[in-house]
A = this chain, B = another copy of it.
Amino acid sequence: MNPSRPSGRASDQLRTVTLERHYTRHAEGSVLVSFGDTRVLCTASIEDRAPAWLRGKGEGWVTAEYGMLPRATNTRTQREAARGGQGGRTMEIQRLIGRSLRACVNRQALGERVITLDCDVLQADGGTRTAAITGAYVALVDAVNLLMKRENLKRNPIVGAVAAVSVGIYKGVPVLDLDYAEDSDCDTDMNVVMNDGGGFIEVQGTAEGHAFRRGEMDTMLALAEQGIGELVAAQRAALAL
């Protein structure tokens, strides 16, 4: 029991991670991912049509959309559809998810198709975007496997695994996988996306309070590398079932 974190977790300890495949039945891939109390439904939908700007080029596209149910949060958030459009935070997150997942796809091997990853937060407790990326990867693999079987693709368009985690500095201490209590009160928050080869796909660090130093950054990156290793293992385990 670590007194310095509200949850009592050790500084380098992830929350309990679960990846429940086939959570809904219509989508080609459908995964309910939980990082502790954060629960995100990730579906992968295949459309056999390239977007207009790629037509005739023989390659596909992977994109993402993100949403939050109005009462996924502690107090009710206005529904974006009722407000007339997606806000800046939503757009930023769904662009991040899309870029991250494209990093593990060979778009030539995918052919003229679009895969849309819908990540909808059913319950939020910090880290929704990193949970979304981690779960969307599993949904993507399920969808691509179905496609390969159905269409008899020659090559697997998936060229690696992708997972994401947040790290930050909470009450002066670098910690892994911030929950909402930490996230809303930390000095620095950094989202890290990596592949299973240890390469970085995205690093987005923001000083919420005081600016962070190179040494702190190095510690946070090391925590992220460790956490992502565990998440990739959890993805593999889920896909092996």
CA distance A73 to B26 in the complex (A): 6
With a cutoff of 8 Å between Cβ atoms, the chain B residues found around residue A69 in the complex are: 41, 43, 67, 118, 120
Which residues of A59-111 are within 8 A (CB) of B? 65, 67, 69-76, 79-92, 94-95, 99, 103
Binding-face segment, A4-12, A13-21, A200-208, A230-238: A200-208
Decide if A71 touches B85 in the complex (CB within 8 Å).
no
Q: How often does this chain occur in the complex, in copies?
A: 6
Binding-face segment, A50-58, A127-135, A148-156, A213-221: A213-221
A185 at interface (Cβ–Cβ under 8 A)? no
A30 at interface (Cβ–Cβ under 8 A)? yes
With a cutoff of 8 Å between Cβ atoms, the chain B residues found around residue A85 in the complex are: 81, 84-85
Q: Using A26-B75, A85-B85, A202-B204 as known contacts, list a sample of 5 further A-B pairs with CB atoms less than 8 Å apart, ordered by residue number in A.
A: A26-B72, A45-B75, A79-B81, A84-B84, A92-B92
A residues apposed to B, CB below 8 Å: 24-27, 30, 37, 39, 41, 43, 45, 47, 65, 67, 69-76, 79-92, 94-95, 99, 103, 116, 118, 120, 122-124, 190, 194-195, 197-207, 210-214, 217, 221
